[in-house]
Chains A and B, each alone.
Chain A
Amino acid sequence: MSGRENGSVSAERDTALAAYTLRLGDDALVASHRLAELAARGPQLEEDVALANISLDLLGQARSLLTYAGSLEERLTGVLRTEDDLAYLRDEDQFANCRLVELPNTDFAYTVARQLLFSAYQFELYTALAGSADETLAGIAGKAVKEVAYHRDHASGWTVRLGDGTEESSERMAAALEAAWPYTAELFTSDAVFRSVAASGLGADPPDLRPAWDVFVDGVLAEAGLARPEVPPITGPAGMGGRQGVHTEAFGYLLAEMQHLHRSHPGAAW
């Protein structure tokens, strides 16, 4: 094998790894932001503490992942984008997060449903990534999986409480799950980036995470006395979704709020 071929193989590998890491970072960043919106709005003080805690964990993951994505990108382009450049200076269509994490906090049940489905996914993902051939990613995932285990417990506990609690809470929890469910298919959809990192032992191919996720989520729903929603996944346009930069309408507002101050002072340090 010639040196040039080697170089192009490794460039391809790095390109896929950079795109993959950015997806994971965007997932964590946006999930954290939605939870951060709830500061001082929890149903009780203990939940203000817990939701802030989960938001902070996710933000920490996002910062590590975005910083790493930026450094991988720099190897390829020679241009470094910092965590803040990536968070604050990209437009909507350049974000590669799944749409599930964008869904608004319509009520507490919606927050719980989103967190249940997402943290159960992140748990399987980080468990797999802890064994990544990429040391940095393995290190980030190894730390994050412990945090996410708690996030998953927290969301499971509330799913059961709300599902089993009162007629009203059970109805709200069922409605919230039904609203979030169509967005779960995207978590387990593969594409060239995912297949590439999985093939080189760097990342996980999303369909492989599904069986364990199904078992876990089904177990929680059964304990909560809730049926698994029977709603089809979101389709179109042309099979594109969050990973391709096509987001929900709510996402533009989230970014407008998150980015406006940073963008109002170009080049300023904070």
Chain B
Amino acid sequence: MTDPGTDEAHQRRFDAMITAEERIEPRDWMPDAYRRTLIRQIAQHAHSEIIGMQPEGNWITRAPSLRRKAVLIAKVQDEAGHGLYLYSAAETLGVGRDELLDLLHQGRQRYSSIFNYPTVTWADVGAIGWLVDGAAITNQVPLCRCSYGPYARAMVRICKEESFHQRQGFDILYTLARGTDAQRRMAQESVDRWYWPSLMMFGPPDSESTHSEQSMAWNIKRFSNDELRQRFVDMIVPQAEALGLTLPDPALKWSAERGHYDFGTPDWDEFMQVLKGNGPCNRQRLEHRRTAHEEGAWVREAARAHAAKSRARQRAAA
């Protein structure tokens, strides 16, 4: 039984820490809803990292030069590493990696919908780096100031690596855009396919976002979906010009009045459909994850059995 008087005191202290922009650490008291929100968000983020390994991993064995191949392997490896930090951050909230992976495999926790789109050309590796990682950075840089310490610290490290990835993606497209006609077409076609899904990565418009308000109050989220989307568009328009590629948005134009680019409305029906599981790769991505996990079960079991036997042998020898 918890003492309601104590809980109230805890709540007051927690609220004061949030107001003072202090970091909440694993041993601090926190409201259950705050804990649940963070677990949901960090798990979704971790799952996105490991599911995100698939669309890019899809091109490792076909990378067109050894240099690009090395960069891509390193990138996919970084994503596995990000998954590890994030599952560890979630663990500080009392939920283990195995449990979260089970929820992912059962389809009870989400990952970023962007990874439900296929990588059908090499240029998609560039477009993912430039647009998808670019959108991810726009989302994640403010998370480095998130109120929950372990998450904020994980994000500092992740953002540094993501900015490398974005530059590498830009460099792939830059090279293609200055290559043969076929390479240039490949780059443009890819950007045409990834532009709208990357705008959707910031989530539904503010008017329809269900979790945003409370997350802002808790200093988990710092800017609204629409603010971040605007920031992203403002960043990529000049970059597209530098690439010599166009963005497939007829509404895109500079507004001197707002000091921002105006842009069109993503197809939110498509967004909802992909979110519900009807995107081009939803089933495939989860199936791939489940298969890797199930095929690895005997390996993990062997490692546990060996560890137990080693301990027993050590005890017997002692």
Contacts and interface: CB of A to CB of B under 8 A. Distances in A.
Interface stretch (A6-14, A58-66, A145-153): A58-66
Interface in B57-93: 57, 60-70, 73-74, 76-77, 80-81, 83-84, 87
Interface string A215-236: 0000000000000000000000
Interface in B135-178: 172, 175-176
Given A48-B80, A269-B179, A39 B74 contact: no
B220 interface: no
A171 B309 CA distance: 17
B53 interface: yes
Nearest to A267: B180
Interface in A50-81: 52-53, 55-56, 59-60, 62-63, 66
Interface string B33-74: 000000000000000001001100100111111111110011
A26 to B, nearest CB: 13
Contact of A162 (B50, B84, B87, B299): B299
Contacts of B77: 48-49, 52-53, 56
B65, B70, B299 — which one has the most chain A CB atoms within 10 A of its CB?
B299
A45 interface: yes
Q: Identify whether the interface residues of B are mostly helix, strand, loop, or mixed.
A: helix
Contacts, number: 145
A257 B62 contact: yes
Q: Identify whether the interface residues of A are mostly helix, strand, loop, or mixed.
A: helix
27 contacts: A36-B69, A36-B73, A39-B60, A40-B50, A40-B80, A43-B296, A43-B297, A45-B80, A45-B87, A55-B73, A56-B77, A59-B70, A83-B66, A107-B295, A161-B306, A164-B306, A165-B303, A165-B305, A166-B302, A172-B298, A261-B64, A261-B122, A265-B179, A265-B180, A268-B182, A269-B175, A270-B67
